[in-house]
Amino acid sequence: MWEALETTKCAAKESLLVQIDQAALCRFVDQLLIEDISPPPWDHRYHFHDNGVETVAYLLVLDTINFCFWPMPGEPRWEIESEGQWLSGYYALAACLKKAVEAGIPITEARYLSRLSLNDLNQLLGGRGRLQLMEERLKNLNELGRILLSHYDGKAHKLVQAAHNSAVALARLLSEKLSSFKDISKYKGREVLFLKRAQLFAADLYGAFEGDKWGGFTDMNELTAFADYKLPQVLRKLGILKYTQQLKQKVDHEILLEPGGMEEIEIRANTVWAVELICRELKRAGKNMNAFQIDNILWNLGQKDESRTKPYHKVVTIFY
């Protein structure tokens, strides 16, 4: 979506604390080409899927509370047990919600979401450790329920229908209708649009439905990368993102960065722009890949231990 790409490009070009190393970026592009790396397919193990409207509603609930999985210092990581293994982070959330749907808990119904209590949510996301920002997750789900009831007959798929097969229109619609998806910052007096979870919802529909039915969007190539905390960690490991010494020390010592502050915005903007540059370099080499596909590759690299030698930046936020 042009407004996200243009505003993040401007912020990246004016960055003082974060820079993109073009040589390292080209080395990564060569690696992608030589190893013929492709994005992995949608993982059905942890996601609910009925090939219909219930999946649409499930994914919207998932992406409404898909953020900030790391624990505060001194606290244990939130984990849940699923099929004999302990899961954390995004996959734990996906599996929790899948289990709830399959158990008949009506988390995909707007009225239930609008009336959900904190106690209900704590039970839904039970496990060991503590998942932070639970009150904010509850507010997001309550808001989602109310908006679906008031604008879309309580149906998530009707919200998706309103975007008319456009991933970009869907992301814009979510950010306009739901405050929890309005992921917009200000940098040097100008707005920078990230819309991470709004764009991710479109990509999740595309992945779950394999580009068909409710994921049959015609403009997936216009989405940007989904600026979170895992992608910059991987890009930094690859040498593509370079931080100033002061920012490097903050990130490496896990000092919290300010939400909407210069440090956070520059990290996220350069993440989006670096992925765009990777796409352009690949295209020059004759390989077409979209930003959401490169994002998928990088995110999955971030699940491997070798990508975790340096910490990711930490911001207490509902946006990623």
The catalytic residue positions are 228
* Residues 108, 153 contacting (CB under 8 angstroms): no
Which residues are 80's β-sheet partners? 87
Nearest in space to 118 (alpha carbons), one of 131, 99, 101: 131
* Residues 126, 80 contacting (CB under 8 angstroms): yes
3-class DSSP assignment, residue 164: coil
Cα separation, 214 vs 212, whole angstroms: 6
* Residues 151, 182 contacting (CB under 8 angstroms): no
Cα separation, 311 vs 256, whole angstroms: 12
| Paired tokens of 206 | 């595309």
| Paired tokens of 148 | 């679906």
| Paired tokens of 85 | 């293994």
